[in-house]
Structure 1
């Protein structure tokens, strides 16, 4: 088991409390310690100092004391409900840097954060703290969207047959070993939108798709063998077309409560440091999403 501790980064909002709750559930299942970190932004503190510089009271210290008190209340509730082993970290500085630095200091096996609900694509996700942490982190990041009632029951894993695919399956086996697992691969022909213009007829197009489907079926079979998955308890789906559409449709159809996928796209699907498919699913999916990357050698 490769997760030795968890870090939940909290801004003390209701959504980040859901994330801490989920992190506590996972920590208890794995019997590993959980750290909860809250970062007080230096920029916000400096703005407060400037606005209140004529007042003698130390509002800055009062703010820090209140933040620590809220953290302690959050931890006490989690201990009471789950019996989790919890450590607290109150940091000051640049939020993303402090989270990344503390995750490195702990060598956290999983980072857990609150995420906005589905549909908040451009305004709420792109450029958000979550995305900025995801860009810079090499650690698995679980984006929590709902208050957890139970452990994960149905998990969807979109795969591209890279090393990230096997690592994603391993993560599911670690944090949700009792969950029903569904593997999904969506395939597309290179330059598919231009093939007919290039003179590729319908028969040849269908033949090429059949070849891609068969190749994907064989690679799916090898992945299941390598991951030692129970074939009677694992479903596999192969689709032709837009991977984002198929993943979101299957998440709803199968009522999955977690999607686990790789951080980067492949080839023409890659966008910035986080693959465009991954970014769109993280922003639009109705359920929690776990983003993994290939672990360092």
Structure 2
């Protein structure tokens, strides 16, 4: 993974959520002196379906492309007015996810909003952001907040995997002046069984303390592998990470969460990972997913 951010692709479905994401992409492009490409994909299947319903109408696909071109150019003007760079406008026709992934294959960062314009599909398959996060090979930023402020307080949840180390490094690259809060939430998997087996509360407390010490040692080891990452604060906490991450982000008033992409098998990769998915759903701040 590149240690610098030189090319940013902001995918837009022309919704208000995507507009906000494009402004964030513009701000980041300015901060990193990176190029910015605004991408809109016209759904070829939708255009073909409409054409079949209206066979005597002028070519609908061409009309959709022309309308999208005008809208993306207007978006580029808004980005420039907000202080961003002059963006390249790119309109493609095809499957939305496949085309986006192909265009953004060489990007250092992909930015998009948290919602799409197809609520029925999103309900069945997860949001557009989640579907893209399953397959994207570049860091993905899901922009939820207004882009008025730079990232100042960044939460980096870790599980000590290789992707966690990448997340720590990418968080520093993305937000070089922010305070990084590296956080691990650990559970106590056998506590219920121990209690059912009649183990004393004192012994269970000792078991929980041992888990905490092991987590703290693992976190120190992880950070030692990234000695170039400065201004880092660390914390381990007992709790379900699917809940604890967003709770901790709220406590810190973080405006960005950066986490490694979970999934070591094709099945878990397809599901994105329950922790990552829950964080995308529940976080009120921006969320970046970093491949391992």
Common fold: TM-score over 0.5: yes
Contact 1:264–1:273 at 8 Å: present in 2 too? no
Aligned partner (choices 244, 247, 255) of residue 246 of structure 1: 244
Count the aligned residue pairs.
284
Contact 2:258–2:290 at 8 Å: present in 1 too? yes
> Which position in structure 2 is the counterpart of 1:189?
188
Once the two structures are TM-superposed, the CA of residue 109 in structure 1 deviates from its matched residue by 1.2
Q: Which runs of 5+ in 1 are unaligned?
A: none
Superposed CA deviations along residues 84-129 of structure 1, whole A, max 9, x for unmatched, are 142221111111111111112xx11111110049xx9x96595332
| 1:211-222 map, 5 Å | 211-222=210-221
> Which position in structure 2 is the counterpart of 1:8?
10
From the superposition, tell whether residues 191 and 42 of structure 1 become closer, same or farther in structure 2 (CA, over 3 Å). farther
Task: Look up the SS of the partner of 2:131 in the other structure.
Answer: helix
From the superposition, tell whether residues 60 and 274 of structure 1 become closer, same or farther in structure 2 (CA, over 3 Å). closer
> Which position in structure 2 is the counterpart of 1:204?
203
**What is the Cα-based RMSD across aligned positions, in Å?**
2.4
> Which position in structure 1 is the counterpart of 2:258?
260
Separation in structure 2 between the aligned mates of residue 125 and residue 58 of structure 1, nearest angstrom: 31
* 1:74 and 2:75 matched: yes
Once the two structures are TM-superposed, the CA of residue 273 in structure 1 deviates from its matched residue by 3.9
Contact 1:35–1:88 at 8 Å: present in 2 too? yes
Aligned partner (choices 268, 274, 277) of residue 276 of structure 1: 274
Once the two structures are TM-superposed, the CA of residue 51 in structure 1 deviates from its matched residue by 2.2
Task: Look up the SS of the partner of 1:195 in the other structure.
Answer: helix
Give the alignment's TM-score, normalised by structure 1: 0.87
Separation in structure 2 between the aligned mates of residue 20 and residue 219 of structure 1, nearest angstrom: 37
Separation in structure 2 between the aligned mates of residue 253 and residue 109 of structure 1, nearest angstrom: 30
> Which position in structure 1 is the counterpart of 2:27?
25
From the superposition, tell whether residues 123 and 261 of structure 1 become closer, same or farther in structure 2 (CA, over 3 Å). same
> Which position in structure 2 is the counterpart of 1:91?
92
> Which position in structure 1 is the counterpart of 2:138?
139
> Which position in structure 2 is the counterpart of 1:63?
64
Separation in structure 2 between the aligned mates of residue 125 and residue 156 of structure 1, nearest angstrom: 30
From the superposition, tell whether residues 271 and 87 of structure 1 become closer, same or farther in structure 2 (CA, over 3 Å). closer
Once the two structures are TM-superposed, the CA of residue 266 in structure 1 deviates from its matched residue by 7.7
Separation in structure 2 between the aligned mates of residue 50 and residue 234 of structure 1, nearest angstrom: 58
From the superposition, tell whether residues 83 and 21 of structure 1 become closer, same or farther in structure 2 (CA, over 3 Å). closer
| 1:83-162 map, 5 Å | 83-104=84-105, 107-116=106-115, 124=123, 126-162=125-161
Contact 2:115–2:128 at 8 Å: present in 1 too? no
Q: Which runs of 5+ in 2 are unaligned?
A: none
Once the two structures are TM-superposed, the CA of residue 249 in structure 1 deviates from its matched residue by 1.3
Separation in structure 2 between the aligned mates of residue 128 and residue 245 of structure 1, nearest angstrom: 19
